[in-house]
Each structure stands twice: as C-alpha cells, then as structure tokens.
Structure 1
C-alpha cells in the first residue's frame, strides 16, 4: 500500500508540520510518522509504507510491522523486528509498517545518567533538562542496565482486535546486567491521539539479538543523547485502508495508558 494523504491539522501545528498531497520530502531534522497511535489502538495494522521507503526519512526510530508482528527498533540505519519470541530479526526492506516514527538522529545534547536511575526517575530527569515541552525529542540511551523489562506481541490476523486486547496477552521479557541501547521519542502533550505524549521507548541489546517495547528499566551506567526536533510530517493510510471507516472521536487515553504500561 502506498502512502496516502497528509493530515490537515489546526493552525497550532502548522508551524511544525510539512503539508503536502504526497509523502513529505526527506529532511534530516524532521520527524516523519506513518499513521496515528489512535488508528493503531483501533486495530489498523495493515502496512502503510515499506521499510525501504522509510529509510529515505531516517536512520532511527520505533514502530511496529504489518499485522502488528512485533516491536520495531530502527537503529543506526538498520531495522530490527523483535517478535513475540523475544528475538530481534532483521526484516526485508519489502516488509511494511502500519505505524512508525523515524528521523535522522543528530545529537543536540548529551548527558550522563546516574547509576540506579529508574524509568520514573529517568523521565523526571530528562524532562527537567529539556528546553521546552512543546517540541519532539529523539532519545538514544546507550550503556549497561541492571534491569530492563520489555514486551512484544504476536502477529494478528483479520479481523484485527484492538491493541489493548492484544497487549493483554503480550510476551514479557526481563534482562539483568545487560548492555544495550534504548531508542525512542519524547513527544509533546498536544499530540494526544496522533502519537504517544511523553516517553515511548524501545530496547535493543548490544549484541542485537533481543529487545522490545520498554516497560521498566534501571540503569547501571549509561549516557543519553538527545536530538531536538521542530518539524513533524504525518502520512496517513490511503483510501483503501480501514482507517477511512474509523470513528476517531472517542478519547482512547485510558487504552493508551494500558498499552504503554
């Protein structure tokens, strides 16, 4: 399926969103997103763009795969697909994504993280050093972790269930004294329904053999690199997608909280 039309948004967002009748032109300092988080919560798991096409818009990011087949970690220009068995595979460029957010990572700020930092204290610390809540940030945390808890989900078949029903039966993985990299984004609160407000992080072990969506962590020794992003491009599924028939007016924040935690 080829990329569809670009979302028309309120004036508040026009300053950071490139609008076009086709897929946005690649820019090194932009965040490019495929579909919306509320579409994913509603069970729209058909692919919108191939991984080969996504590579034109970044070398770093997160998302999922056709049919919700695992968690995406896009790191250093390589896609990793952490499936429900916990193993990180390298998928073909022809594989498609129903939801993804990617950018060309460029460090604007780098900070050491204290030993013993938990997921909660990590969020508090990073929120305290960022210049504003109103732009996007790509976050890369590399080092060793005394504990990381992740999850993944199995591939789904049509008719697709909503995401909250899928994650109720998710596979959970626990890592202790592990080296690796956390990849993800901090998104502003006003993108509720479009992306995940706040922190959305995925993990990849240093040997690139395992990972998943981060549920919890504790740092032994690590450094956070942060990329400030002030442009956001959104490509929506095309007219042959289930997206066109969705009612996107309900507030799904409770479902999102369940899925993320």
Structure 2
C-alpha cells in the first residue's frame, strides 16, 4: 500500500485515495534516504508507475539494476551490462517519472564533459529552485556508467553496494541520456543536482552516468513545478531512520 504526498509551490497535502499525476508533475516513489538506508523491496508495480509518466529513472526490487523509462518503455540495465525490457508486474522501491514535454532545446558544445555540461546547463535553466527533466541524444566520445546487482537480505546500505558495483566504459557511442536536475532543498527526499542514466541507441548497454564527453549531442528540458511522492506504507519504511544526514553517502554513491 502506498501513501501519496503532493508537494507544490502552493500547498502540502496528504491524500488517502489514489492520485494520478498530470503531465507537469514529477512523481517519485519513496525517498533517496530510504534507498540509501537499504530499503530495496519494491513497493509499486511498473504498470502503476507507467501511469504516472513516460520518462524517468530509478531501480527495481532488491536493487536489481538501473531503470530507464524512455518513450513509455521501461528498461533495466543489468549488473552484467546487458539490457532487458521490463514487464509491468515487476516492482520498484525508488523511481522518479514524469510526462516529458520539451520546452527548451539546445546543441551541446562539442567536447563538453559531464562537469562542464552541468555548469553550461545551469546557466541556461532559468530557475535553480524548480525541477527539470533532461533528455540528451547524440554521440559521445566517452561514457562511463555503472549498475548494481540484486541484493539479498539483510540488505547492506547503498554506499556499501556502490563500493563493489560493476562499471562500464564506452568510446564513440550513440545513445540517449534521461534524468533530472533537482533543487538543493530536496536533500533527503531526492537527489539534489544532476541524476542521469544512459542507454545506447541499440538498447544493449548503459547505466547510471559517472562521466561523459560529448562528441555531438543536443539536450531538451522540461520544467516541472510540482512533485508527488508515493510513500510506502510498510513496516520497513515506518521503522527507517530518515532523520540521519546521509549527504556524504549520497555523494559517494552518485560520483563513484
């Protein structure tokens, strides 16, 4: 059972009946601190998740791979580097999805690396305190990604899992990047800053992005003013220590 919490610029509301998102809503399942703390059991089906968006990222039950939702299709980038199309009966413990409607489009300067891209796009996006869905398509001189294997109970913390995660490197590769730039105030709930996943154009490889260098690519963004949280109504979630500051753990997980 899931609880729904809607955060918008005007209100903070709790809903006890089903709430389905509009096209301009970012829908997130659980919180990043819950995932960092080892809450990997899936709580929402992929079928239900796809009602909330056609675009997004996340993971799967037991932390079984990296999720990409692109053009309404859900892909799993496995820990062995391969890719599966995921059925609606599987579940997710953490994901963020929306309906992507591009508002801004730009060509990314050639040879821009991941850090340079963030600085470049920050200068283009008008509001640092709103959410932006990001879609990049093109060719990359270099791409470095990682994925995570399915875990068994008792689950280790995500920072421990990340120390042993498989990493993948690609050269002269085409593909699509999907993800978000989130404002600083979401710490503990979401991932502040940039959180991006990659899928090759042949849908055979990808992962959570650690580094890249652009050869020729364009970016499209979709500004989102509202976030809806689907929080687990479970004993694991109710017993989790979500008051702990996990910002150092998040930095370790996102950058390594």
Q: Same fold judged by TM-score > 0.5?
A: yes
**Alignment pair present for 1:256 and 2:235:** no
Instruction: Spell out, residue by residue over 1:46-103, the C-alpha distance to the aligned partner (whole angstroms, 9 max, x if none).
Output: 1111111111000000000000000001101000000100111111110000000000
Determine the C-alpha separation between the residues in 1 that align with 2:11 and 2:194.
Answer: 19
**Alignment pair present for 1:63 and 2:61:** no
Which residue of 2 is the match for residue 172 of structure 1? 167
Which residue of 1 is the match for residue 228 of structure 2? 233
**Alignment pair present for 1:89 and 2:87:** no
Any idea what SS the aligned residue of 2:234 has?
Answer: coil
| TM-score, scaled relative to structure 1 | 0.95
Q: Which of 147, 172, 185 is equivalent to 2:180?
A: 185
**C-alpha contact (below 8 Å) 1:150/1:212 kept by paired residues:** yes
Which residue of 1 is the match for residue 240 of structure 2? 246
Q: CA deviation at 1:16?
A: 6.5
Determine the C-alpha separation between the residues in 2 that align with 1:144 and 1:8.
Answer: 37
**Alignment pair present for 1:15 and 2:13:** no
Structure number having the greater strand percentage? 2
Q: CA deviation at 1:8?
A: 7.8
Determine the C-alpha separation between the residues in 2 that align with 1:22 and 1:81.
Answer: 30
Determine the C-alpha separation between the residues in 2 that align with 1:78 and 1:100.
Answer: 14
Give the gaps of 5 or more residues in structure 2.
none
Paired residues, what number? 255
Which residue of 1 is the match for residue 125 of structure 2? 130
**C-alpha contact (below 8 Å) 1:150/1:172 kept by paired residues:** yes
Determine the C-alpha separation between the residues in 1 that align with 2:23 and 2:232.
Answer: 23
Any idea what SS the aligned residue of 1:5 has?
Answer: strand
Going from structure 1 to structure 2, the CA distance change for 1:108 and 1:16 (only over 3 Å counts) comes to farther
Give the gaps of 5 or more residues in structure 1.
none
Determine the C-alpha separation between the residues in 2 that align with 1:60 and 1:200.
Answer: 13
Determine the C-alpha separation between the residues in 1 that align with 2:148 and 2:201.
Answer: 22
> Could you list the runs of 4 or more consecutive aligned residues of structure 1 that deviate by over 6 angstroms after TM superposition?
none
**C-alpha contact (below 8 Å) 1:18/1:233 kept by paired residues:** no
- Cα RMSD (Å) of the superposition? 1.3
**C-alpha contact (below 8 Å) 1:17/1:232 kept by paired residues:** no
Determine the C-alpha separation between the residues in 2 that align with 1:51 and 1:18.
Answer: 25
| TM-score, scaled relative to structure 2 | 0.96
**C-alpha contact (below 8 Å) 1:19/1:233 kept by paired residues:** no
